[in-house]
Chain A
Amino acid sequence: RKEVEQDPGPFNVPEGATVAFNCTYSNSASQSFFWYRQDCRKEPKLLMSVYSSGNEDGRFTAQLNRASQYISLLIRDSKLSDSATYLCVVNIDRTGGGNKLTFGTGTQLKVEL
């Protein structure tokens, strides 16, 4: 089983739609969770951190379910500019230092007119 698994998509949705991505992780010791956005041929950029209580940033809502070991990202009122690949990222604080982030392979979103 992969440490972090995502549906690769692509998710093709019309503008204005609501879309949700799920991501599962294998290590129950995982401590920190993030969603990154990566545009084609660009660097990953932090979209939002994911907190146990869930968190919202404008049209974006992130949820964490530790019991089932998954995190989710909900995008409401999709915009054309939301088209990108969304990376699920999980941190495991390993012995010896460092801050190893494990990246999913990403879910591609295409928002269409």
Chain B
Amino acid sequence: NAGVTQTPKFRVLKTGQSMTLLCAQDMNHEYMYWYRQDPGMGLRLIHYSVGEGTTAKGEVPDGYNVSRLKKQNFLLGLESAAPSQTSVYFCASSDIRAGPQHFGDGTRLSIL
């Protein structure tokens, strides 16, 4: 059971570089989410999507962009990476509006 799959698992970038994190889910969920987790701050929502072709801002969207061209995929982009974006990034999906979310195993990103 794949569930939610994130790639890559680890990445080190230099300040100013760009990259895209991929999230794929095989559960046919409508809703998908990107979070970041930093020590002592809990999980914070970056962007989310309520269906194919839609995206919306979460609580910490600055410096990130997202796309949901296919229902099963949700991409998170960093156009110009900054050290403040060093974090663990989690993707999640859910099938109903107020239901629980299922998480991928995370991407550890370090910006030097």
Contact = CB atoms under 8 A, between A and B. Distances in A.
Contact of B42 (A32, A97, A105): A105
Contacts of B12: none
Given A42-B105, A99-B101, A106-B42, 10 more contacts: A4-B42, A32-B98, A32-B99, A32-B100, A44-B90, A98-B31, A98-B48, A98-B50, A99-B94, A100-B58
Interface of A: 4, 31-32, 34, 42-46, 49, 87, 91, 93, 96-101, 103-106
A97 B50 contact: yes
B56 A99 contact: no
Given A96-B56, A98-B48, A98-B56, A103 B43 contact: yes
Contact of A43 (B45, B50, B54, B90): B90
Nearest to B6: A43
B43 A99 contact: no
